[in-house]
Structure 1
Amino acid sequence: MSNSTDLYQAARQRVIAKTTYKWVFAALAVIAAIQVVIWYLTTPEGYFWPVWPIIGMLIAALAWGIPLFGRHGGVSEERVQAEVARMRAHQ
Protein backbone atom coordinates (compact mmCIF):
# COMPACT_ATOMS: atom_id res chain seq x y z
CA MET A 1 0.00 0.00 0.00
CA SER A 2 2.88 2.36 0.78
CA ASN A 3 4.27 1.96 -2.74
CA SER A 4 0.96 3.03 -4.28
CA THR A 5 0.74 5.97 -1.89
CA ASP A 6 4.30 7.02 -2.73
CA LEU A 7 3.54 6.91 -6.44
CA TYR A 8 0.39 8.93 -5.95
CA GLN A 9 2.25 11.54 -3.90
CA ALA A 10 5.01 11.81 -6.51
CA ALA A 11 2.46 12.22 -9.29
CA ARG A 12 0.56 14.78 -7.21
CA GLN A 13 3.75 16.76 -6.63
CA ARG A 14 4.44 16.78 -10.35
CA VAL A 15 0.94 18.07 -11.10
CA ILE A 16 1.42 20.78 -8.46
CA ALA A 17 4.72 21.76 -10.08
CA LYS A 18 3.01 22.08 -13.45
CA THR A 19 0.26 24.24 -11.98
CA THR A 20 2.85 26.44 -10.25
CA TYR A 21 4.72 26.80 -13.52
CA LYS A 22 1.60 28.12 -15.23
CA TRP A 23 1.07 30.75 -12.52
CA VAL A 24 4.72 31.82 -12.62
CA PHE A 25 4.57 32.07 -16.41
CA ALA A 26 1.50 34.29 -16.10
CA ALA A 27 3.34 36.48 -13.58
CA LEU A 28 6.31 36.76 -15.96
CA ALA A 29 3.95 37.86 -18.72
CA VAL A 30 2.53 40.58 -16.44
CA ILE A 31 6.05 41.71 -15.54
CA ALA A 32 6.97 41.87 -19.23
CA ALA A 33 3.86 43.95 -19.94
CA ILE A 34 4.74 46.34 -17.12
CA GLN A 35 8.24 46.76 -18.54
CA VAL A 36 6.83 47.58 -21.96
CA VAL A 37 4.44 50.13 -20.43
CA ILE A 38 7.32 51.74 -18.51
CA TRP A 39 9.36 51.91 -21.71
CA TYR A 40 6.44 53.40 -23.62
CA LEU A 41 5.72 56.03 -20.96
CA THR A 42 9.35 57.10 -20.59
CA THR A 43 11.09 56.72 -23.96
CA PRO A 44 8.71 55.49 -26.69
CA GLU A 45 11.08 56.67 -29.42
CA GLY A 46 14.17 55.30 -27.67
CA TYR A 47 15.89 51.95 -27.54
CA PHE A 48 13.49 49.10 -26.73
CA TRP A 49 15.33 47.86 -23.66
CA PRO A 50 12.52 45.55 -22.38
CA VAL A 51 13.52 43.03 -25.02
CA TRP A 52 16.48 41.87 -22.91
CA PRO A 53 14.69 41.06 -19.64
CA ILE A 54 11.82 39.54 -21.65
CA ILE A 55 14.24 37.27 -23.52
CA GLY A 56 15.84 36.29 -20.20
CA MET A 57 12.46 35.46 -18.68
CA LEU A 58 11.50 33.41 -21.74
CA ILE A 59 14.74 31.43 -21.59
CA ALA A 60 14.19 30.73 -17.89
CA ALA A 61 10.56 29.73 -18.51
CA LEU A 62 11.58 27.36 -21.30
CA ALA A 63 14.40 25.85 -19.25
CA TRP A 64 11.92 25.13 -16.46
CA GLY A 65 8.93 24.16 -18.61
CA ILE A 66 10.40 21.81 -21.20
CA PRO A 67 11.51 19.12 -18.72
CA LEU A 68 8.40 19.64 -16.64
CA PHE A 69 5.87 19.26 -19.43
CA GLY A 70 7.68 17.21 -22.03
CA ARG A 71 5.00 16.30 -24.54
CA HIS A 72 2.09 16.65 -22.13
CA GLY A 73 0.38 19.49 -20.30
CA GLY A 74 -2.66 20.28 -18.21
CA VAL A 75 -3.61 19.55 -14.61
CA SER A 76 -6.50 17.38 -13.52
CA GLU A 77 -7.21 14.32 -11.43
CA GLU A 78 -7.05 12.31 -14.65
CA ARG A 79 -3.53 13.66 -15.24
CA VAL A 80 -2.50 12.64 -11.72
CA GLN A 81 -3.83 9.11 -12.28
CA ALA A 82 -2.11 8.95 -15.68
CA GLU A 83 1.16 10.02 -14.06
CA VAL A 84 0.76 7.34 -11.37
CA ALA A 85 0.22 4.71 -14.06
CA ARG A 86 3.24 5.92 -16.04
CA MET A 87 5.46 5.91 -12.96
CA ARG A 88 4.21 2.46 -11.96
CA ALA A 89 5.07 1.12 -15.42
CA HIS A 90 8.66 2.38 -15.12
CA GLN A 91 9.38 0.79 -11.74
Structure 2
Amino acid sequence: MKLNTLIIPLFLSVNSPVLYANENTSDVIEPIMVTIPAGTFQMGDIDKEDAQPVHKVTLPEFSLGKYEVTVREFRHFIQASGYEANTFLTVE
Protein backbone atom coordinates (compact mmCIF):
# COMPACT_ATOMS: atom_id res chain seq x y z
CA MET A 1 0.00 0.00 0.00
CA LYS A 2 1.40 3.40 -0.97
CA LEU A 3 1.36 5.95 1.82
CA ASN A 4 1.22 9.59 0.89
CA THR A 5 2.33 12.15 3.44
CA LEU A 6 1.26 15.69 3.97
CA ILE A 7 3.08 18.48 5.65
CA ILE A 8 0.60 21.06 6.75
CA PRO A 9 1.51 24.63 7.46
CA LEU A 10 3.48 24.91 10.66
CA PHE A 11 0.85 26.96 12.45
CA LEU A 12 -1.61 24.09 12.03
CA SER A 13 0.75 21.41 13.32
CA VAL A 14 2.43 22.94 16.34
CA ASN A 15 -0.22 22.14 18.95
CA SER A 16 -2.07 19.17 17.55
CA PRO A 17 -1.62 16.63 14.79
CA VAL A 18 -3.96 17.00 11.84
CA LEU A 19 -5.20 13.93 10.03
CA TYR A 20 -7.18 13.86 6.82
CA ALA A 21 -8.71 11.17 4.66
CA ASN A 22 -7.50 10.52 1.14
CA GLU A 23 -10.40 11.40 -1.17
CA ASN A 24 -10.03 8.12 -3.09
CA THR A 25 -10.03 5.81 -0.06
CA SER A 26 -11.02 5.72 3.57
CA ASP A 27 -7.34 5.59 4.59
CA VAL A 28 -6.26 8.29 6.98
CA ILE A 29 -3.04 10.00 6.00
CA GLU A 30 -0.84 11.14 8.84
CA PRO A 31 2.32 13.14 8.13
CA ILE A 32 5.66 11.90 9.42
CA MET A 33 6.78 14.49 11.94
CA VAL A 34 10.17 15.37 13.40
CA THR A 35 10.76 17.23 16.65
CA ILE A 36 12.62 20.51 16.51
CA PRO A 37 14.20 21.25 19.91
CA ALA A 38 13.64 24.53 21.73
CA GLY A 39 16.30 27.12 21.17
CA THR A 40 17.35 30.74 20.71
CA PHE A 41 18.77 32.38 17.60
CA GLN A 42 19.61 35.84 16.29
CA MET A 43 17.05 37.15 13.80
CA GLY A 44 17.75 40.07 11.51
CA ASP A 45 20.59 41.55 9.49
CA ILE A 46 22.54 44.69 10.32
CA ASP A 47 23.28 45.24 6.62
CA LYS A 48 19.63 45.29 5.53
CA GLU A 49 17.41 48.09 6.71
CA ASP A 50 14.22 46.04 6.38
CA ALA A 51 15.71 43.26 8.57
CA GLN A 52 16.71 45.43 11.53
CA PRO A 53 17.09 45.39 14.41
CA VAL A 54 18.95 42.15 15.00
CA HIS A 55 17.26 40.55 17.99
CA LYS A 56 17.09 37.27 19.92
CA VAL A 57 14.17 34.96 19.23
CA THR A 58 13.44 32.00 21.48
CA LEU A 59 11.15 29.23 20.24
CA PRO A 60 9.70 26.33 22.22
CA GLU A 61 10.07 22.76 21.00
CA PHE A 62 7.75 22.05 18.06
CA SER A 63 6.98 19.41 15.45
CA LEU A 64 7.44 19.86 11.72
CA GLY A 65 6.58 17.60 8.81
CA LYS A 66 9.61 15.62 7.65
CA TYR A 67 8.81 15.95 3.93
CA GLU A 68 7.62 18.79 1.72
CA VAL A 69 3.97 18.97 0.74
CA THR A 70 3.11 18.40 -2.90
CA VAL A 71 0.43 20.49 -4.59
CA ARG A 72 -1.70 17.33 -4.83
CA GLU A 73 -1.36 16.62 -1.10
CA PHE A 74 -2.21 20.20 -0.18
CA ARG A 75 -5.24 20.06 -2.48
CA HIS A 76 -6.41 16.90 -0.65
CA PHE A 77 -5.90 18.66 2.68
CA ILE A 78 -7.96 21.69 1.58
CA GLN A 79 -10.79 19.52 0.27
CA ALA A 80 -10.86 17.18 3.29
CA SER A 81 -10.54 19.83 5.99
CA GLY A 82 -12.51 22.76 4.57
CA TYR A 83 -9.43 24.96 5.02
CA GLU A 84 -10.01 28.27 3.28
CA ALA A 85 -6.99 28.96 1.12
CA ASN A 86 -5.85 32.50 0.38
CA THR A 87 -7.25 34.02 -2.77
CA PHE A 88 -3.98 33.48 -4.64
CA LEU A 89 -4.40 29.70 -4.34
CA THR A 90 -6.83 27.86 -6.56
CA VAL A 91 -8.13 24.34 -6.11
CA GLU A 92 -9.33 22.60 -9.25
Q: TM-score range by the shorter chain?
A: under 0.3
Q: TM-score, normalised by structure 1?
A: 0.22
Higher strand fraction: Structure 1 or Structure 2? Answer: 2
Larger RCO (CA under 8 A, 6+ residues apart): 1
Higher helix fraction: Structure 1 or Structure 2? Answer: 1
Q: TM-score, normalised by structure 2?
A: 0.22
Structure of higher CA gyration radius: 1
